[in-house]
Chain A
Amino acid sequence: MVEPLLKVDNITVHYGRLSAVREVSITVNQGEIVCVVGPNGAGKSTTLLTISGVLAPTTGDVTFSGERINGMRPEIVARKGISQVPEGRHVFTTLSVEENLRIGAQIRSDKTEVEKDIKWVQELFPILGERRRQSAGKLSGGEQQMLVIGRALLTKPKIMTIDEPSLGLAPNIVDRVYEVLTTLRKERGMTLLIVEQSSERALKAADRLYVLRNGQIQIEGNASELQDGEKVRQAYFGFSETEQQEDGANF
């Protein structure tokens, strides 16, 4: 069996004494699009931040290309080839659009390739070329989403992790974002780990799917097998009527 590119192995992450994810395992193989879906507070962002080295797991390991990376600093993880597009976009609003892109490329030493890649990103998202001198804070939400994806691409990642790319965007912009993401895989063989709240869109793009709820993986499988959606729905909202009532009683 081929070693997975990214392996999240049984991690538990705490915020203080509270555990946000418990014994979560996710694998992403080279060239795959993997989606993690789950409701608010399921631990999706926590998982991604742990992969990026911002949070450290209490137990469990994260391995990337066979190397253990948990405990490494975020900047080291980024230099290893994991680029995260975090939730809420996080463009540098005081920097220009082009400066934002270039800060993605600052870890690379292949200068001519960087220039080529900047051109390529500006072709992928023409608006980033047109507005390259403008302050990034002036871009619309959709344009900012494109900017952060472009910026992450310029780090020349081996895998991109994306936290809720559709958050707060108009449906046609979301379509555009997903179109680009699938093109990236098709044309560049990019490996993607996408986190979403809505499973519908994610199911369409993904090869494999994980459903995360209350900090634990509820179900995993090939996207094609989960296509009918009933299983996913159950995993997303809870397994049975009674359990849902119990959950309700807890509030």
Chain B
Amino acid sequence: MSISVNNISKSFKGKTALKNISFEVKKGELFGLIGPDGAGKTTLFRILTTLLIPNHGEATVVDFDIIKDYKSIRNNVGYMPGRFSLYQDLTVKENLEFFATIFGTTIEKNYDLIKDIYVQIEPFKDRRAGKLSGGMKQKLALCCALIHKPKVLFLDEPTTGVDPVSRKEFWEMLKRLQNKGITMLVSTPYMDEAAICDRIALIQDGEMLEIDTPKKIVKHYSKTIYNVKANNMYQLIKSLKSYQHNYSVYPFGEFVHYTDTRTDFSPIDLQHYLTSKNLKNISIEITQATIEDTFMELAK
């Protein structure tokens, strides 16, 4: 096991940040930690990178204990904190060189590992890191976290605040790194990014809601979801919420995801009800559950 977490709890001044968290990450796995801000993702990362000591429970990273062997862990992991944590007044190359030296290595030695990513930012190697675009900064941060060839890579919300194009590229890079045998724990608030991970853990308010592969997690959703649409979104949501048989009503892009409490639910009934509420152009169709649906159901 690359990471093994057993019953970890952590609280700050009486406020619980993590409650009895347990999970394992296999060697070479891309493991996603999915949850909104304040769910406890960063606290968990800081415990695993030996920056915080949990109140209860134990954990190992690359078979080293997070408390006793913290020095060994610090030699063997790469960490990319949530904020952009590079020196803004140093150039791209200086940042990379700096991180290589403090880890006792050189850029040349591990160039293979970062080559794919570095060639994209190499044209700007003399530019100050503070002047890079969001996507570029993120690539540089990844290079810096990789430069000492870590066995496990911790990435705390690497795609927050980055545009969709860079986000997509970033996940593609992570996939390629996985092929090189690096274990990765990645957190993200975006449900749509979960599908790329091998396994994901859904986390909210310091508790793990579910741990499984993205495909299986979606299958856990037992109810049938209907995509409902009509001419007026606001009236539609209001009407659905006042419908006596409604189980859940969530706006979902141009549709509303609707589930019913009855097992013998017939869309025709709902259609009639909505028509009686003066809604027009009504359409009701069965749709597939997404990870977000599962998350909301579990967090309810």
Answer whether A and B are interacting partners.
no
Interface residues of A (CB under 8 A from B): none
- Give me the interface of B with A, judged by CB distance under 8 Å: none
